[in-house]
Every structure is written in structure tokens, then in C-alpha cells.
Amino acid sequence: MFIELDLQSETPIYAQLVDQIVEGIASGALKPGDPLPSIRNLSEDLGINLHTVNKAYNLLKQEGFLQVHRKKGVIVQPDGMPGVTEEFEEKLRQQLRSLAAAAAVRGMSEEAFAQESKSVYRDMIMNRGGEQR
Amino acid sequence: MFIELDLQSETPIYAQLVDQIVEGIASGALKPGDPLPSIRNLSEDLGINLHTVNKAYNLLKQEGFLQVHRKKGVIVQPDGMPGVTEEFEEKLRQQLRSLAAAAAVRGMSEEAFAQESKSVYRDMIMNRGGEQR
Amino acid sequence: MFIELDLQSETPIYAQLVDQIVEGIASGALKPGDPLPSIRNLSEDLGINLHTVNKAYNLLKQEGFLQVHRKKGVIVQPDGMPGVTEEFEEKLRQQLRSLAAAAAVRGMSEEAFAQESKSVYRDMIMNRGGEQR
Amino acid sequence: MFIELDLQSETPIYAQLVDQIVEGIASGALKPGDPLPSIRNLSEDLGINLHTVNKAYNLLKQEGFLQVHRKKGVIVQPDGMPGVTEEFEEKLRQQLRSLAAAAAVRGMSEEAFAQESKSVYRDMIMNRGGEQR
DNA sequence: GTGGTCTAGACCACC
DNA sequence: GTGGTCTAGACCACA
């Protein structure tokens, strides 16, 4: 589980963290029940502030992707991930619309766009069950 | 071409403006050469600040989607839209990755995700050549 | 709308803030659409840190009691408060259970307990429509 | 007398313990003079730390709900439970106020709230004299 | 001027 | 040791 941050990026650090952890779960690098580094450890490793990590963890907890366990610390949700809610679909569609519009205007075809989505998804999932950590 | 702003949204107003104009172009509601409302007019209509509209127009100009003429005012790029640059593809992929990860974690299948992308694109394009304004 | 904090209390400051704002809404002292003091103003007035107020506001936003409006700042949810969700009922019952148990053990009767609940609710609502601010 | 802990809950384990023991007394599952498991036994059964159980027992002793004997070990207060003190009433009212406010804002009526309180109390008491352990 | 983000450093409750 | 809370002070994007 490697995390790479771009401190120059305009997307906030905590959001990058959230993204990468979610991708870690999606790719299978992080499995349900797996422990995550403690806030302090991770913040030190990444050279960022503890509150920034805390914010990311909290967001993921709210979304139901992580649990804060009294004994094990922070772990990946072991009791089943949240499903595809109405709310999520709405947000997904809205973001896709924005991307699709930009793609369409630049001349990318419907097939190309769908293909791109498909391959991105596939690349992410690819090595499920593969790397353990 | 109707523009709807959500003043409570987390996405800044200027970004919503950019999105909706791009979608307008993608859908065919706005065609190359079509005039856009003046900064002053649009800002008044929407009840927002001049600077906000200005920022949106400037971004779109930079991306090559709009032209700003002294005489004709702001018009939709008539000389061919920018194509699919390497830079754009990279940005697209990165955003799709984030969406795909969230979708995958929530149990949405590759097909469902690709299908969603496809249908969003299609809905947007649907009435090309249709409504003029 | 007066807010009183007990800095010695073991309930965190941000939680006291949340409570009092919710009580303000319940009592009618705060009406839908009403603006709340800016984070900086309130934190200064109360002599606490800006982040503490921010946390309270954020929690209330998440719960749907407040909105962060791009132009008006923070306001009381104007589009209808969230209803009685399954989740809320569960939490309510759990907390009532704890209170009821302590009351029962100390010899407070069912009627007395229900009566207490009733009168507390009533006192809170009492001057709805009354004080404006 | 079964105790169930939720290690993910926000309420500390010792507090959950306190709650459940009080509920046990209220429901009649634990009667005055009844013995409670030794600290060591209970902590092992629940798979938690000695200190945690100890803290819970101590709090209950301070409140007058338990007695700790050198010989008999820990037993439920046989000499009459503490009554409804001024202090308790104040705490009760304060907590009810917080709950009532949240309920009111979400549109729960005074009757519904009082009814909920009543039924929670009743469910707890229901099988008094019933199960022994 | 607003909220959002980030840092640095501190104390505390819990386990 | 863990996460949770609070403070102080800073910069930035947005409007």
C-alpha cells in the first residue's frame, strides 16, 4: 500500500489521501479488516500534519469505508461496504456528465469515452487478490 | 441554454458555470460562432458577481472553447475545438480512476460503470442539432 | 440567540455548541433561512478557537440542519429539516434506554419519566414564534 | 444477564458496561444482593482490559448501585438504591433537552416523544421478576 | 470578509 | 500507544 501525494496539486491533500485509500480498497491492496497506519505514523511517513490524515480518515469513516475500532485502531470496513446508494449514483452521474461533456467537445466519441471508463476500471481491479500489502 | 446554479454546492460558482457552458456546447445547444451573453448581462441574470462570470469565461478562453472579440463579444470557438490532448487524457483518466474506485468499492460492476458512462454521454449528445437556444 | 458554554464540562465544547444551536432551532429562536454568525465572529464572541466553531458548524451541516451558502454564509436549513429517519430513531431509543434505566433504578416511575420528557419538550417549544432573536 | 459490547461505538467500553449493568438492574435481571462476575472473570469473558471493567465497577459503586465486599466480591446494592436526587434530575433534564430538541427539529411531536420515552421505559421494566440470569 | 485547508504543538480519555 | 479535542496562527480560493 503505497501512497503518493502531490503537495503542489490543487486538490487538497486530505482528498488525495481519501482517493488513494479508496483505490487501495478497490484494487484489493487493502482488504476488509486490514489495519491502517495510525494517524501519527501515517502523517509522519508522509511528512504531513496529523490533522490532515485525521480529516481523511474521518471522511472515510463517515462514508462507511473505514471503522475506528477501540482495540485495533483504524481498519478497513469489515462488515460489508456501503452499496450503490441513490445519492452516490446521483453524484457519480453528475461528475461523469462534466467529464463526458469535455470529452465530447474535444471530439472523443461515445465509444472511446466508454472504453476509457472501462479500461480505467479494469486496470484498477486487475490484480485483485494479488498483492497483499 | 439555461444555466442553473446551486449556491449551496461545494463546487464553486465559476466552475458550475464552466461546466454548464461546456455541456451546452457538447449538447449542441451552443454552436460554434454562437454569441454568449455579455459578462455584465449574465452576471445580472444569474444574480452573481461580475468577477465570477469573468473567471469562468477566461478559463474557457484559455482552454480554447471560447473566443473574446472586441466587437462581437464572447462567442463559441468557431475555428475548431481543441482536440484530445495528452494532458486532457491524463486528467480524464485520473478523475475516472477516482470515480471507478468509489464505484468498485460499492460493488458496481465494470459493465455497470461503463454503461453509466455511455448513457451519460449519450443523454448529453442526444439532441444535437435540436434546440438552438 | 444566546449561547452559553461551560468550559469545565466534560462534554466537548463543539458538542455543546451543536446542542445549543439545535435547541435554538427547536425553540424557534432560529428560523429556517436565518443567518448564523460567521465562524470568526462566533469564535471571538465565545472566546474559543475558530476550529471548534467550524467543527460544530460542519457537523450540523452534515446532519442537514445548516447550509453553507456561497453568498449568505452559514444559514439555518431553509429547504425543510431532515425528518425522523430510522437511524435517528434508533439513536434516540438507545439514549432514552440509558436514561430510563437510570431513572427506573432510582425509583422514578414510568409516568414520572414520561412526564419529565413531555415537560422538557414543551418548555423548549413554548415560545415558538415568540422571540425573534 | 448478557452483556454486548460494540467495539466500534463512540461510547467508551466502560460506559457501555455501566449502561448495561444499570439496565440489568432496572429490568430485574440483576436483583439487590446478586453477585456480579469478578473483575478478572468479566474482563476475560468480554476480552477487554481489567482496568476497563474496574473503571465501570468503580463508577457504579460511587453512584451507589454496587457494593464491593472483600468476601462476597461485587454485588448489587442490597441496602436500597439511591433515590432521585436533585443532581440526577438536573442531569436527566439536560440530556432530555438535547434529545427533545433534535426530535422537535425533525418534526417529532410532543406526544410522539413522550410516547417513545414511555415505551422505552416500559420495555425495559417489562419482565421484572422474570429472568434471573 | 467568508469558509476551507494546513501546520505545529498541546492535553486528555481510553485501553 | 491510540484517537479526540482544543489552541494559535497562517495562507488561499471564492465572491
1.10.3720.10, 1.10.1240.10, 1.10.10.10, 2.60.120.260: which CATH number matches A13-76? 1.10.10.10
For the segment A40-76, what is each residue's pLDDT rounded down to a tens digit? Answer: 999 999 999 999 999 999 999 999 999 999 888 999 9
Contact D102 C22 (CB under 8 A): yes
CB D18 within 8 A of CB D60: yes
pLDDT at B131 over 60: no
Closest CA to D77 of D39, D130, D37, D36: D36
Contact C83 D19 (CB under 8 A): no
For the segment B49-89, what is each residue's pLDDT rounded down to a tens digit? Answer: 999 999 999 999 999 999 998 888 899 999 999 999 999 99
What average pLDDT is seen over chain B?
92
Distance of alpha carbon A19 from alpha carbon B92, whole angstroms:
15
Which nucleotide is the nearest neighbour of D15, by CA and C1'?
A: E14
Closest CA to C78 of C31, C132, C20: C31
Chain B residue at shortest CA distance from C64: B8
Helix (H, G, I), strand (E, B) or coil at C73: strand
Q: Does B84 touch chain C (CB under 8 A)?
A: no
- A92-117 burial, b at 16+ Cβ within 10 Å, e below that, comes to bbebbbbbbbbbbbbebebeebbebb
Closest CA to D85 of C105, C124, C93: C105
Q: Mutate which of C70, C71, C74, C76 to test chain B, going by most B C-beta atoms within 10 A?
A: C70
Domain ranges within chain B, ordered by starting residue: 13-76, 86-127
Closest CA to A17 of A4, A30, A26: A4
Name the residue with the least CA to C1' distance from nucleotide F8.
C49
Can you point out the beta strands (E) in chain C? 66-69, 73-76
| C:20-79 Cβ neighbours of strand F under 7 Å | 48-52, 55, 70-71
Model confidence at B133, in pLDDT bands (50, 70, 90)? very low
Model confidence at C2, in pLDDT bands (50, 70, 90)? confident
pLDDT at A131 over 50: no
Helix (H, G, I), strand (E, B) or coil at D51: helix
Query: Would you tell me how many other CB atoms lie within 10 Å of the CB of residue B79?
Result: 8
List of chain B residues whose C-beta atoms are within 8 Å of the C-beta of residue C71: 7
Q: Does D25 touch chain C (CB under 8 A)?
A: yes
Question: Residue B68 pairs with which residues in a beta bridge?
Answer: B74
List of chain A residues whose C-beta atoms are within 8 Å of the C-beta of residue B105: 22, 25-26, 65, 81
Q: Give this prediction's pTM.
A: 0.92
